[in-house]
Amino acid sequence: MRPDFLVFGAPLIGEEDIAEVVDTLRSGWLGTGPKVKRFEAAFKAYIGSEHAIAVNSCTAGLHLALDVLGIGPGDEVITTPITFAATANVIVHTGATPIFADIDRQTQNIDPHQVERAITSRTRAIIPVHMAGRPCDMDALMDIARRYHLSVIEDAAHATESWYKGRKIGTIGDITVFSFYVTKNICTGEGGMITTNRADWAEEMRLKSLHGISKDAWKRYSSADFQPYETEFPGYKYNMMDIQAALGIHQLARVTENLKIREHYWDIYNQELAGIPGIIRPNGLVETGSLHARHLYTLLLDTAQLSYTRHEFIQRLHERNIGTGIHFTALHLHKYYRERFNHRPGDFPDAEWVGERTVSLPLSPKLAIADLYDVVEAVRLALHT
């Protein structure tokens, strides 16, 4: 057994990241300022979108997206049950109702056929989630959205590097939101980015991300020029700090290099875990012209072959100093969504099937090859002891 605990999702922080943060601290400017602008410009160029707005979390970005679309009480927004709570929580925060549509078991992404079945006269938007970095069927979803006059907000928390049939995720839906949480492929500790091609939406979301005031602190207080401000919207405290952006600048510069490392690690897992009874390896295949971001490596436990629960399997890995994640238990069965919206087991059977079996293994550029083999050995022992 390895002597130290292998933390799930530990980020790779380089010396250049540290130096940029130190430079920010020494500059005396820690809040939203020039490094946020620099990060936004680099991210916009990487994605190929017309606009990029840095925020303090993907959750904040999703909320701003719904807000700028005017979604509120009486409206419905369709999303997947296989996602983090934030995806549906932001719908609730607007006063709208989250409507779940089941997934495709093979891709673990929302099923467009189920989306269309869930549409009512109150539906205003669809929030697909690119699960684990695998792009959703955006052709089908965008076709549905246009036919029913709906907006599409892509939850790309897992999908910074992803492409769909020759188009970059972040340029397909009406608005796309990315995450830079500590476990994500680009890490700023906390943070997110919104992309859109609509200038009016971008301006409104930027204003609302900082209390709805007309001049941010950099414009008000920097040496360049003092300018008073007005409150144009009742906005939010959703802005990114220069300290966060200082990390993101160099994380983004390494994103392609780090994807190659994760692809290599994914292949090692696939090879070493092949043919082992009790587990189903993730389906990493994508359509021609598409790219999987390899954010998560998610095993499915073949419960028909096991005499113990997923919790016991995870505990066996932890006892061997291997950290894991669960992405995700089906959201409609969580306490709030069960009780508030009267969901029951059986409502979304494919999401429940995946949610009962999924276990995520460590997959980070920070890992050494030896770490991967420690994980593989722990999985083998956990399955057969």
Q: Which CATH architecture has domain 256-383?
A: Alpha-Beta Complex (3.90)
At residue 229 the predicted structure's pLDDT band, cuts being 50, 70 and 90, is confident
Give the pLDDT of residue 217.
Answer: 52
Helix ranges (H only) for the chain are 15-27, 34-47, 58-68, 85-94, 112-118, 138-147, 199-208, 217-221, 242-253, 255-272, 310-319, 335-341, 349-357, 369-383
- Rounded Cα gap, residues 183 and 299, in angstroms: 18
What local confidence, expressed as pLDDT, does residue 226 receive? 62
What are the distances in angstroms from CA 53 to CA 17, 56, 216? 21, 10, 13
Query: Which fold is adopted by the domain 15-253?
Result: Aspartate Aminotransferase; domain 2 (3.40.640)
Strand-pair category, 97-100 with 76-79: parallel
Instruction: Tell whether the model's pLDDT for residue 309 goes beyond 90.
Output: yes
Beta bridge partners, 176, equal 154, 195
Tokens of 283: 């389906």
* pLDDT, tens digit (0-9, with 9 covering 90-100), for 47-73: 999 999 999 999 999 999 999 999 999
pLDDT band of 322, cuts 50, 70, 90:
very high
List the catalytic residue out of 168, 184, 208, 219. Answer: 184
Q: What is the pLDDT of residue 1?
A: 82
Domain ranges of the chain: 15-253, 256-383
Q: Is the pLDDT of residue 228 over 80?
A: no
**What does 35-70 look like in DSSP terms, one character per residue?**
HHHHHHHHHHHHHT-SEEEEES-HHHHHHHHHHHTT
Which has the minimum average pLDDT: 62-66, 190-194, 224-228? 224-228
> Is 260 one of the catalytic residues?
no
